[in-house]
Structure 1
Amino acid sequence: MTDEFSQNFGKNVNRLRTENGLTQEQLAERADMSRRFLQEVEKGEKIPTVKIAARLRRALKCTWDDLLKGCPDI
């Protein structure tokens, strides 16, 4: 996957988390992941697996379109 993908995905997670009024700790707990991993995702340093992305989507109560907005096709 491209750097552009990871950067946009991370920005979307951060934006959606903020819009939902969640801290990183709260979202990490709801999505069953470490806060450190979530930080790395939001910074565009890590790309989660589809399974983890699905947990983030459910925890953020958003659509796949919301989560993947601006991400290039892969």
Structure 2
Amino acid sequence: MSLPDEIQSETVRFGANVRRERVARAITQEKLSEMADMDIRTLQRIEAGEINSLMTTVLRIQRALNCPWEKLMPR
């Protein structure tokens, strides 16, 4: 089942924002997945915009990056 276009677009932007903030902090995907207590493949799929993240997952990533919400949320 595919997501509606608007949600898919937001999912892709969120993933790009996560990747941008991770790279800006010189953190590898492996390290961030450990810090956020999640599977690395899940993080990779989030960054690729392949999956719509649960709020609990978003919160884990946000806390692990120590990043303000506005830098992660799509605009």
TM-score by length of 1: 0.89
RMSD: 1.0
**Size of the alignment, in residue pairs?**
70
Alignment of 1:42-53 (within 5 A): 42-53=47-58
1:33 alignment partner AA: M
Runs of 4+ residues deviating >2 angstroms? none
2:25 maps to which residue? 20
Q: Deviation of residue 22 (structure 1)? A: 0.4
Match 1:30 to one of 32, 35, 42? 35
For 1:47 and 1:32, the matched residues in 2 are separated by: 18
Match 1:64 to one of 51, 59, 69? 69
Identity %: 39
For 1:52 and 1:20, the matched residues in 2 are separated by: 19
Larger Rg: 1 or 2?
Answer: 2
For 2:49 and 2:34, the matched residues in 1 are separated by: 20
Q: Deviation of residue 69 (structure 1)? A: 3.7
